[in-house]
A and B are shown apart, each in its own frame.
Chain A
Amino acid sequence: MSKFMNAVVLTIFASSVLFAQAPAAAIKRTADGKPDFSGIWQGGGISASGTTANIVPAGGAAAPAGRGGGAGAAGAAGARGAAGAAGAAGARGATAQPGALPTQPPMQPWAAEKSQKMKNIDDPTVHCLMPGVPRVVGMPFPLEIIQTPNKIVILYEAFRTFRVIPTDGKKVGGEAAPSFNGDSVGHWEGDTLVVDVTNFNGKIWGPGNMKVTSDKYHVVERYTLVGDTLEYRVVIEDPGVLTGPFSPNPTILRRPPETRIMEYECIENNINLSSIVQ
């Protein structure tokens, strides 16, 4: 056997030993051992597959042609109890418990009535305003995660927005004005990144049929690598609108075919008003 072949065999052997020693989940990890979320992901929409093949669902029912969000916009499943949903609490390594909380928003009566009366034209995104968290995650456009040891940056093609999320639990940069995306502070619970998002401006829609939010709107996100997918769950609280926390069904983010984040300037030609006044 040639030296070259020896080297190849040795490399294969060494690699298999390395893989054998990898944690059971065998997820991709960064140099410091954290799950590696880096790269392009997409939660919804036809281009996730690179074709239009998946836009016609089985049974022939009309598909939401990349309708922004769907479950993706909704976001989440019950990760923890109400106290846990409040944010930084929660045992390290705790796993999400889908179904622990209602999947529909338990709205205060006035909020339920207001949400029901909302029309397309009332949706902030129809005016090209940012969808906020978690709706932006399920949009039919890719997002890119840039991961460093103590920070994650998410670039969203949809509405060309971004978030900078410290992952060491430390809020940085001082006070910020209430905003569409809020302020994010993350920490690791085992292999799950838990992000506490507060300081919203009360101008966004929440997930699902929660079409009103207050400045007390509060999101706890949980990002977990599951094989080749990134599972995204949220718990929503809003004492100004809800009677308790809820956690919509999770969004599964997948790796789309090779692509890159491109520009999406929503206001460029936002002319079609006849379809939103209905």
Chain B
Amino acid sequence: MKSKAIIAGIASAFLFAAVSLMAHHSNAAQFDSTKRVTMKGEITKIEWTNPHAFIYVNVKDAAGKVVNYSLEGFPPNTLLRTGWSQKDLKQGDVISFEGCVARDGSPILLAREVTLADGVTKKWWGPMQ
């Protein structure tokens, strides 16, 4: 029982812990900087949240299968200070984005740049580390 409690404790620690800042992202471990892709898709959800903002996008692969990708970005305050407005993104917009794929193949992208529907490109995240 005791060990179960410990395991539960560890599990919940992992559940609630996460990256507080890009300061502590182990991006090199999670993403492969040599595998950069450009994708296009429709925004399904936007989270202007701390410690990081996320855009979720439905992307159709060659076989027509739709996969929902999450694009992690700078904190909202940093995005505001570097030229973003929350009005730039809304559900249903089609955007294209360039970034590095996850090493484990999960549908998450370290999205360096996002090109909005009007053709304007902005940094969603900095270079890989």
Residues of A within 8 A of B (CB): 45-47, 50-52, 55-56, 62-69, 73, 120-121, 123, 125-128, 139-141, 157-158, 256-257, 259, 262-278
| Cross-chain contact A66 with B126 (CB below 8 angstroms) | yes
- What string of 1s and 0s marks CB contacts (under 8 Å) between B104-127 and chain A? 101010000000000000010111
**Cα separation A121 to B16 with both chains bound (whole Å):** 11
The docked-state distance in angstroms from the alpha carbon of A132 to that of B13 is 21
Q: Is the interface of A mostly helix, strand, loop or mixed?
A: loop
Q: Is B64 located at the chain interface by the 8 A CB criterion?
A: no
What residues of A have a CB within 8 angstroms of the CB of B33 in the complex? 62
Separation of A266 and B19 alpha carbons in the complex (Å): 9
CB–CB A126/B18 < 8 A:
yes
Contact A66 B22 (CB under 8 A): yes
What residues of chain B have their CB less than 8 Å away from a CB belonging to chain A?
14-27, 29-30, 33, 47, 49-52, 54, 72, 74-75, 77-78, 80-83, 102, 104, 106, 108, 123, 125-129
Which residue of B15, B77, B123, B127 contacts A264 across the interface (Cβ within 8 Å)? B77
Given A64-B22, A276-B25, 18 new contacts (CB under 8 A): A45-B78, A63-B127, A63-B129, A66-B21, A66-B22, A68-B24, A73-B23, A120-B24, A125-B21, A125-B23, A140-B22, A141-B78, A157-B77, A262-B80, A268-B49, A269-B52, A275-B29, A276-B19
CA distance A141 to B104 in the complex (A): 31
Residues of B within 8 A of A68 (CB): 21-24
A272 touches B127 (CB 8 A): no
Question: Is A269 a contact of B49 with CB atoms below 8 Å?
Answer: yes
Residues of A close to B108: CB separation below 8 A: 274
- Name the one of A121, A139, A157, A264 contacting B23, with C-beta atoms under 8 angstroms: A139
* Bound-state Cα–Cα, A132 to B55, Å: 31
A264 to chain B, nearest CB (A): 6
Q: Are A46 and B14 in contact (CB under 8 A)?
A: no
Bound complex: CA A69 to CA B24 (Å) = 10
Q: Contacts of A272 on B, CB cut-off 8 Å?
A: 18-19, 25, 52, 72
- Tell me if A62 and B128 are in contact (CB < 8 A): yes
Residues in chain B near residue A65, CB distance under 8 A: 22, 27, 74, 125-127, 129
A45–B106 Cα distance when bound, in Å, is 28
- Bound Cα distance A270, B123 (Å): 21
B50 and A268 contacting across the interface, CB-CB below 8 Å: yes
Q: Determine which of A66, A127, A259, A275 lies in contact with B74 in the assembled complex, contact meaning CB atoms within 8 Å.
A: A66
Across the interface, do B26 and A66 meet the contact criterion of CB distance under 8 Å? no
Q: List 10 A-B contacts (CB under 8 A).
A: A46-B78, A50-B82, A63-B126, A67-B129, A120-B25, A140-B21, A266-B20, A270-B17, A272-B72, A276-B25
